[in-house]
Amino acid sequence: MIQTRPHDLSDRIAQLGRAALDGHLITHDEAHELASARGDELYDLFYWANKIRIKFVGHQVKFCSIVAAKVGNCSEDCGYCSQSKSHQTHVAPGRLTADEMTSAMEQALSHGASSFGIVNSGRGPTSAELDWLEPFYKNAVENGKIRPCATLGELTDESAARLKAMGVLRINHNLETSRNNFPKITTTHTYEDRVRTIRIAKKHGLSVCSGGIFGMGEQWHDRIDMALALRELGADVVPINFLNQIAGTPLYGKFPDLTPMEALHIIALYRFILPDRELKIAGGREKILRDMQSWIFFAGGSSFLIGNYLTTFGRPAQQDHQMLKDLGLPYTTFDEVEHEAQPAAPIASRGLALPVVS
């Protein structure tokens, strides 16, 4: 006799959706119930995730943009990353000048980005690297049109204080995965090291952007554990990345790509657990979601990375503006002004060349 799933999960999803709208924080056990959704139940999950997004975050969308300022030759061995000196990938070491960083920021502004982040490879910033970055950040503060962000690795009290004094408003430092799964991904530093940097950043009054990468062999309990950890740590923005497998990295070919529906399931679950946080859909969006990219909002996403990533290209910004225009969604800039998407505007589509081995 064929056993079928009970038909009451849709009702349970609706019950938890209404509870979340009323301010209830989803528990560990409730999150596992939501993770068990399958088939048509996922559409119920997306429906309530979208209602939670609209109530707590709003109808509008935000763009974020980044540039890799120091690339490659990284001491760390993160299994997903093409920049480790332990991995033989397409990436060649290099770094940008302050003028090149400013040019990338101006391109981000032309895309409509509200935040712009400088990303460095390496364990953490040295004093000399902070000296190199300071002119850019001071210029960004004077510009006043975009949120200056930094993804520089581990921070100390001294480096966090200095970044704050430069005008940096937000630090990105991802947990990447659950505490339990972390040693399978990285061995040169620990999950606790990452937590410490997040706490240091908050201690110094910096907004925190922290999330993870999905599709690295983690299970649903890992995804739930990371979401609850991010809630406890008080992350303001939670990037949701999907593994974009890069030849030469240890994770290349190790796990099958996520399906679009599983990726959307993750977004929706995170919206239930983190109702009032900015959920930023970032790396792997184009590859994993394919024709379902516009569903990220219905599933609970509220922002996304526009333009290029670190060592891989994104898609032309016009396509993202067209997606928002077709959905009737406005975007919000750093000054909290809403704008209608402009797919016909002269938006640069590639920008600075990404570092590749010649």
Task: Give me the domains of the chain, ranges plus CATH numbers.
Answer: 27-332 (3.20.20.70)
Output the pLDDT for position 350.
41
Output the pLDDT for position 311.
55
Helix (H) / strand (E) element for 305: namely strand 303-305
120-152 in b/e form (b: 16+ CB < 10 A) is bbbebbeeebbebbbebbebbeeeebbbbbbbb
Helix (H) / strand (E) element for 171: namely strand 170-172
Between the alpha carbon of residue 115 and those of residues 106, 177, 207, 315, the distances in Å are: 11, 24, 12, 18
Q: Spell out the residues 6+ positions from residue 180 whose beta carbon is closer than 8 angstroms to its own.
A: 221, 222, 225
Q: Tell me the pLDDT of the chain (358 aa) as tens digits.
A: 333 444 679 999 999 999 999 999 999 999 999 999 999 999 999 999 999 999 999 999 999 999 999 988 788 999 999 888 778 777 778 899 999 999 999 999 999 999 999 999 999 999 999 999 999 999 999 999 999 999 999 999 999 999 999 999 999 999 999 999 999 999 999 999 999 999 999 999 999 999 999 999 999 999 999 999 999 999 999 999 999 998 999 899 999 999 999 999 999 999 999 999 999 999 999 999 999 999 999 999 999 999 866 655 678 899 999 999 999 999 999 999 999 998 986 444 444 444 433 2
pTM across the whole model: 0.93
Rounded to whole angstroms, the Cα distance separating 16 from 34 reads 9
For the chain, the residue count is: 358
